[in-house]
Amino acid sequence: MIRSALRSFRTLIGCGVAGSDYDGFGQSIVDDLRYLRRFRQCRRRAVLWRTPTAADEKTIEVHPVLGRFGDATIAVAEVDGRHWIVRERDWHGWPDPPRYVFFANEQDGIWAAADFDGWPQAWQQPVGPKTFSGEP
């Protein structure tokens, strides 16, 4: 019984689990907490977002992880050597996931990721085409 409980705990935190892939992203609860902490730091930063170029959109769509989250890339920015991306979902709100998904990528992978509904006050929304919902 204790062995089973320890195995379950190790699986939950992603310890010793090869390719934990429960939601298609493959992160553990420890990674989730790390991403959440980093996103909270990111949303406090003043960021001037820009509308993605066609090349940006194509790169994101073919990425093995990023292309699966969200339906349209609505904003990108370069911050501290990281590539920040915000994607919007066509369908959002309960029971669907939050409206936006955020990624901050480094050269060696994803540094932060989070779903969110309200656009952070410190972030300036990009000027460009309207999103699916009709709001920038």
Q: Residues 14-33: pLDDT tens digits?
A: 555 444 444 456 778 888 89
Q: Which residue has the higher pLDDT, 1 or 91?
A: 91
Residue 129 lies in a domain: no
Residue 90 lies in a domain: yes
The DSSP result for 56-123, as a single string, is HHHHHHHSTTGGGS-SEEEEEEEETTEEEEEEE-SS-STTSPPSEEEEEEETTEEEEEEEESSPPTTE
**Amino acid 14: pLDDT:** 53
Domain count, the chain: 1
Q: pLDDT tens, 31-55?
A: 889 999 999 999 999 999 999 999 9
Residue 62 lies in a domain: yes
Residue 16 lies in a domain: no
Cα separation, 58 vs 82, whole angstroms: 18
Residue 1 lies in a domain: no
pTM of the model: 0.75
Query: What is the span of the domain harbouring residue 84?
Result: 27-124
Taken in order 77, 75, 45, 33, the sign of the CA dihedral is negative
Residue 4 lies in a domain: no
Residue 102 lies in a domain: yes
Assign 58 a pLDDT band (cuts: 50, 70, 90).
very high
Cα separation, 28 vs 113, whole angstroms: 13
Structure tokens at 136: 């920038």
Q: pLDDT tens, 78-125?
A: 999 999 999 999 888 888 889 999 999 998 789 999 999 999 999 998
Asked if 38 contacts 31 with a C-beta cutoff of 8 angstroms, the reply is: no
Residue 22 lies in a domain: no
